[in-house]
């Protein structure tokens, strides 16, 4: 059997062409970047052991295992991260959050940044990689996920601090930025059926998918420095809801960022500090505050 035959067989079984190419390269012990090599060698014979390995990988892929788990790694924001079933596969959409965070951190020397629900460590490590002067702490409630993040940090030689906790439980105060890609899929969302191989605790968050986002927005003010940012990834249809949560909690400059598909994928705001926070104003101080301004570009809601 030639390499081309193997790829045809995989296509006949219903595998996407790119998936089949990546799995075949993996079975051959080659780099995922070697797709050009594959095309140039499509009349080569596929050795029998590699053929068996490729068939097994294709079967697992047909059963819905993410390609990243089968390869054992995923590229994220220029870093190669080891991933397995203990963590969510980092999505390209989440690079939007990293780019936004980097832009906001640019003027701050040695910023202190907290990443909540770090999983593989993707966001925290991408930030640390680009901002070696930053102090980055990554939190996850899953010891399994932290083990993956720790191994990634060690392999990349990045000095990430890791801590096992649920959201902001036990966190220090005074962070200049808190970032998170929490679970945000509604528990009845049919989309979850396609994601059964990834940890459900990293995906689903209550009836409307907003349970963890609500918790983080409620807890963050006590842990942010005055002027500190809270940046949150959320679902394709949750931007308005998250902006409202942030504004109601007293965040200012609330706004959203679009991912590569043009979807409002993350929202965030700035904590003005204790004096400007409605919760900290003395009672009977007149109007508690002007209605929080919500910025955003949702054409359905220009408020
Ligand atoms: N973006 C992922 C998906 O819908 C979900 C990630 C998350 O819940 N944080 O496939």
The pTM score is 0.87
Would you call 151 helix, strand, or coil by DSSP?
Answer: helix
Q: Is the pLDDT score of 284 beyond 60?
A: no
Euclidean distance between CA atoms 47 and 45, whole angstroms: 6
Q: Is 134 exposed, middle or buried (0-12, 13-18, 19+ CB in 10 A)?
A: buried
Query: What is the greatest pairwise CA distance in the chain?
Result: 82
pLDDT tens-digit readout, 164-201: 999 999 999 999 999 999 999 999 999 998 899 999 99
pLDDT tens-digit readout, 237-275: 999 999 999 999 999 999 999 998 999 999 999 999 765
Atom in ligand 1 nearest the alpha carbon of residue 183? 8
Euclidean distance between CA atoms 258 and 235, whole angstroms: 11
Q: Is 289 exposed, middle or buried (0-12, 13-18, 19+ CB in 10 A)?
A: middle
CATH 3.40.50.150 location in the chain: 84-295
Would you call 92 helix, strand, or coil by DSSP?
Answer: helix
Give percent of the chain with pLDDT exceeding 70: 90
Contacts of 29-34 spanning 24+ positions with Cβ under 8 A: 32/71
Q: Is 203 in the pocket of ligand 1 (CB under 6 A)?
A: yes
CA 270–ligand 1 middle distance (angstroms): 24
CA 184–ligand 1 middle distance (angstroms): 7
Domain 84-295: CATH architecture, name and number where available: 3-Layer(aba) Sandwich (3.40)
């Amino acid at each position: 059997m030639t390499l081309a035959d193997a790829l045809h067989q995989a296509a006949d079984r219903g595998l996407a062409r790119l998936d089949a190419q990546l799995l075949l390269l993996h079975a051959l012990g080659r780099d995922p970047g070697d797709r050009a090599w594959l095309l140039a060698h499509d009349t080569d014979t596929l050795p029998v052991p590699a053929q068996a390995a490729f068939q097994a990988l294709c079967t697992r892929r047909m059963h819905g295992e993410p390609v990243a788990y089968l390869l054992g790694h995923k590229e994220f924001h220029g870093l190669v991260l080891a991933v397995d079933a203990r963590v969510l596969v980092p999505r390209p959409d989440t690079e939007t959050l990293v780019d936004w965070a980097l832009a906001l951190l640019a003027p701050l020397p040695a910023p202190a940044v907290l990443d909540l629900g770090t999983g593989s460590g993707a966001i925290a490590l991408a930030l640390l990689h680009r901002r070696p002067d930053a102090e980055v702490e990554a939190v996850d409630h899953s010891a399994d996920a932290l083990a993956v993040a720790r191994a990634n940090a060690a392999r990349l030689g990045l000095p990430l601090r890791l801590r096992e906790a649920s959201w902001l439980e036990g966190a220090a105060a005074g962070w200049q930025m808190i970032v998170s890609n929490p679970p945000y899929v509604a528990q009845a969302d049919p989309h979850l059926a396609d994601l059964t191989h990834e940890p459900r605790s990293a995906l689903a968050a209550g009836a409307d998918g907003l349970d963890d986002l609500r918790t983080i927005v409620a807890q963050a003010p006590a842990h942010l420095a005055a002027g500190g940012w809270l940046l949150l990834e959320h679902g394709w249809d949750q931007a308005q809801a998250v902006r409202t949560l942030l504004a109601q909690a007293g965040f200012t400059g609330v706004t959203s960022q679009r991912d590569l598909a043009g979807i409002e994928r993350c929202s965030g705001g700035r904590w003005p500090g204790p004096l400007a926070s409605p919760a900290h104003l003395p009672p009977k101080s007149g109007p508690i505050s002007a209605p929080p301004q919500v910025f955003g570009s949702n054409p359905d809601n220009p408020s």
